Amino acid sequence: AQSVTQLGSHVSVSEGALVLLRCNYSSSVPPYLFWYVQYPNQGLQLLLKYTTGATLVKGINGFEAEFKKSETSFHLTKPSAHMSDAAEYFCAVTNTGGFKTIFGAGTRLFVKA
Amino acid sequence: DAGITQSPRHKVTETGTPVTLRCHQTENHRYMYWYRQDPGHGLRLIHYSYGVKDTDKGEVSDGYSVSRSKTEDFLLTLESATSSQTSVYFCAISDVDLNTEAFFGQGTRLTVV
């Protein structure tokens, strides 16, 4: 069975500081990994995804994530936080043999001026 | 943006009444999903469909049923609403290609009183 663990339900950073949102997964087969962002009262939007190939994945709005198989991690980073980054972020996993996506519990990012 | 429309967007209903939520897509994607979102739980899969009249249960399917009579429509029915089904419900679609992410609707906020 697959699962996703997001470390920290809330993360607070200052504007301009590094953003680091942690995600660990478990999967018995090679995973496909995703980060989604949800702004208030909206649906989820894809930030970035890893399927195969390069382990460092770049997404929209300056975010990137690195797939580390040995650590079963897919942490999301952004060098410099902006006020507009305040939102909830979800890590998700699916496997190459199926199509159902399993989501983490989410991390709410607060950005302080 | 992917063409996904959920209706209604908000609904308040009484305990014990049946409720149907509708998801309509204009993308001709084969797979459709219903998730519920609750604080601390992220998104949990209720039911999904992999084609017309082809549906299966997700991890939290008790008390819910679905139907898909056309490619573009996926209905979620709460047979007898309970307060524990107060939640935000999201419909999602994805392409047959396993590499693609899911696209989400705007959500339906359901309150059972």
pLDDT digit string, tens, across residues A58-113: 999 999 999 999 999 999 999 999 999 999 999 998 876 556 788 999 999 999 99
Please state, as a whole number, how many other Cβ atoms lie within 10 Å of the Cβ of residue B47.
22
Query: pLDDT at position A14, please?
Result: 97
Query: Closest Cα to residue A19, out of A72, A67, A64?
Result: A64
- What whole-number distance in Å separates Cα of residue B97 and Cα of residue A5? 26
Of B43, B92, B106, the CB nearest to A90: B43
Cβ neighbours for B107, distance < 8 A, ≥ 6 positions apart: A41, A42, A43, B6, B9, B37, B88, B89, B90
Q: How far is B105 from chain A (nearest CA, A)?
A: 6
Contacts of A36 in chain B (CB under 8 A): 101, 104
Residue of A nearest to B58 (CA): A100
- What whole-number distance in Å separates Cα of residue A74 and Cα of residue A30? 13
- What whole-number distance in Å separates Cα of residue A75 and Cα of residue A111? 18
Query: pLDDT at position B107, please?
Result: 94
* Strand-pair category, B19-25 with A44-50: unpaired
What does the pLDDT look like over B52-91, one tens digit per residue?
A: 999 999 989 999 999 999 999 999 999 999 999 999 999 9
Q: Give me the residues of B, 47-106, that contact A with CB < 8 A.
A: 48, 50, 58, 90, 92, 94, 98-99, 101-106
Share of chain B above pLDDT 90, in %: 78
DSSP H stretches of helix in A23-104: none
Contact A49 B101 (CB under 8 A): yes
Contact A100 B42 (CB under 8 A): no
Secondary structure of residue B71 in the 3-state scheme: coil
